[in-house]
Chain A
Amino acid sequence: MKARSIAAGMKTALLYIFLLVFLTPFLLIVMNSFKTTQQFVENPLSLPTNFHFGNYTSAIGKMDFLHGFLNSLIITVVSVFIILIFSAMTGYLFVRFKWKVNSFIFFVMLASLTLPFQVLMIPLVMLYGNLDLLDSKVTLLFMYLGFGVPFGVFTFHGFIKGVPFELEESAFIEGSSRLRTFFQIVLPLLKPVFVTLIVLDILWIWNDYLLPSLVLLSPAHRTLPLSTFNFFSSYSVDFAPLMAGLIMTVIPVLVLYLFLQKQIIKGITEGALK
């Protein structure tokens, strides 16, 4: 028995060592973000002698961090919010009203899930460019709604199918309107779906690059992933602030992950298995 527990301990230790190796690329960047560029170039493996936060302040200036952070935050929060509310309402509509037009639209939405962004990006830029709607955060929010709705509706649809109609019936008898019933009775039941979708949509939108790079043209609108480009605007790259900038772009998601890891893992699993 004792030999067995030693073997198990060894195995756990080995796994932790392997994890450390696996995460080395990231940890090296974290470590070097506290050194000066010169110290980094001289020896990227040396531990920082004194914690040098200068890189962080210079990265904040160079990538206009506060602006980028605010843009990313607004775009992520508002997009996720509108995707969730409108998808939930439409999922409800498709479950409770089996009209032909509803099943047709639902079918088209499901089919569209196979479409990669690549086949849509050129006509999108062309159409919205012609209408002079590019370079606006509102347009980007609208596009995220359009891209996020099919999966949202699909997920809510699957869940609402299992919600018994009797729950709503009594509310209708008491004269509650359709909309009020939805928000007061149905919506609170959808909490697990909300968590899954919030996780998946935040990770998607916070990290997205290609779509915002096509829509948000002026520097004032830039999200964080777009702002990292600033480090490469000059001829030679100053690595230490770059590393600090990269870390700062990841930190919001990492903090979220630290608090919600169970939900995130659950959300990812459910999202992938659908």
Chain B
Amino acid sequence: MKKKNVLSNAGTFLLFGGPSIFAFAAVVVIPFLVGLYLTFTNWDVRTGNSDLIGLANYYEVFSDKVFLGQLWFTLKYVFFTVFIANGAAFFIALALTSGAKGEQWLRTGFFTPNLIGGIVLGYLWQTLFSQVLPYLGNKYGWSLFSTSWLTDTITAFWALVIATAWQLIGYLMIIYIAGFSGVPGDVLEAASIDGANRSAVIRKIILPLSIPATVICIFISISRSFLTYDINLALTKGGPFNSTELATYHIVQKAFLSNQYGIGQAEAVVLFAVVAIIALTQSYLLKKLEVES
């Protein structure tokens, strides 16, 4: 009887868990472990040779000025993208919860860019930056736009920030709106009876009470923009002269074009560590500011 029970349990496990657990193990768990191992080897894709070389790959990563430079470039990009996207999303969300007519439609509209995938979005902005803006610049004599933004490192950086923020804003806006709806109406009413003006209400009531939503939004925007690849590929292709390669772009090139799998994987692990540390630290610090309503 007991044996039969074990058998039937195993059957239930395989039937209900089998396919998903097998796929999860084969696609996530095993590659993750193999990936960690890979960072300690000099595996060569062409010969198939592989020797254990200890921490040499990590040493290489931390002494590679090009990669460190791109990591720094990525950090700056993340900082400005997160700042601009969250600022814009916050104020749009605020405007869309203040009782204007057709808020539902406006919400739908502002969310639309988020439906566009990174590659298509990148090409869309590439067309704008390389064709439409220079046209306007030359026609009206605006020197800022007279040449394509994508041919210069600094302006190409801002092009990346703008395109990424444009995609993120609608998404973050939705989360902020959900956060604001948690702000109790009686608190707002009490404030307006006490004669608080709009900016005081925002600073003293809405901002502190929507910290949980802010933590989520900043967490999401940090982790997403750190991992940007599609927009980078379609908008600047790393150019001009490899000066706008974000970390993921660099890793893809390193692994799949230069065939340096071990070093590429070590770079990916370092990138993951950087994202995790920054994202968790901000959550920890911001959560301390949380208040009860």
Contacts and interface: CB of A to CB of B under 8 A. Distances in A.
Interface string A113-130: 011111111111111010
A82 B23 CA distance: 11
A261 B16 CA distance: 33
Given A15-B95, A265-B108, A269-B174, A228 B27 contact: no
B127 A242 contact: yes
A242 B120 CA distance: 10
A16 interface: yes
A235 interface: no
Contacts of A142: 23, 26-27
Interface string B250-293: 01100110000100110011011001100000000000000000
Contacts, number: 243
Interface in B40-92: 43, 45
Contacts of A8: 99-101
B13 A93 contact: yes
A273 B120 contact: no
Contacts of A112: 24, 28-29, 32
Given A25-B166, A209-B229, A254-B115, A115 B20 contact: no
Contacts of A124: 27, 31
A224 B68 CA distance: 34
A195 interface: no
A213 B123 CA distance: 17
Interface in B165-200: 166, 169, 171, 174-175, 178
- Chain B contact surface mostly: helix
A228 B178 CA distance: 35
B256 A209 contact: no
A272 interface: yes
Interface in B97-127: 98-102, 106-120, 123-125, 127
Interface residues of A, number: 86
Interface in A39-76: 40-41, 43-45
A145 B23 CA distance: 6
A126 B100 contact: no
Interface in B232-256: 233-234, 248, 251-252, 255-256
A268 interface: yes
A93 B16 contact: yes
B268 A118 contact: yes
A123 B20 contact: no
Interface string A14-35: 0110010011011011000000
A246 B235 CA distance: 14
Contact of A90 (B21, B99, B124, B226): B21
Given A115-B272, A208-B117, A26 B112 contact: yes
Interface residues of B, number: 84
Nearest to A268: B174
A219 interface: no
B268 A119 contact: yes
Chain A residues touching B, majority SS: helix
Interface string A135-151: 00000001101110110
B236 to A, nearest CB: 13
B15 interface: yes
Contacts of B116: 26, 207, 250, 253
Contacts of B169: 22
A176 interface: no
Contacts of A272: 171, 174-175, 216, 220
Interface string A69-106: 00000000000001000110110111001010110010
Contacts of A178: 12, 15-16
B125 A25 contact: yes
Contact of B35 (A87, A122, A206, A242): A122
A265 B173 CA distance: 11
Contacts of B171: 268, 272
A196 interface: no
A185 to B, nearest CB: 15
15 contacts: A25-B125, A25-B166, A26-B112, A41-B131, A45-B135, A90-B21, A109-B24, A142-B26, A146-B27, A149-B21, A149-B23, A210-B230, A250-B115, A268-B111, A272-B216
Interface of A: 8-9, 11-12, 15-16, 19, 22-23, 25-26, 28-29, 40-41, 43-45, 82, 86-87, 89-90, 92-94, 97, 99, 101-102, 105, 108-109, 112, 114-127, 129, 142-143, 145-147, 149-150, 152-153, 178-179, 182, 203, 206-210, 214, 225, 228, 231, 239, 242-243, 246, 249-250, 253-254, 257, 261, 265, 268-269, 272-273
Given A15-B100, A43-B135, A123-B32, 5 more contacts: A45-B135, A45-B136, A89-B15, A127-B31, A178-B15
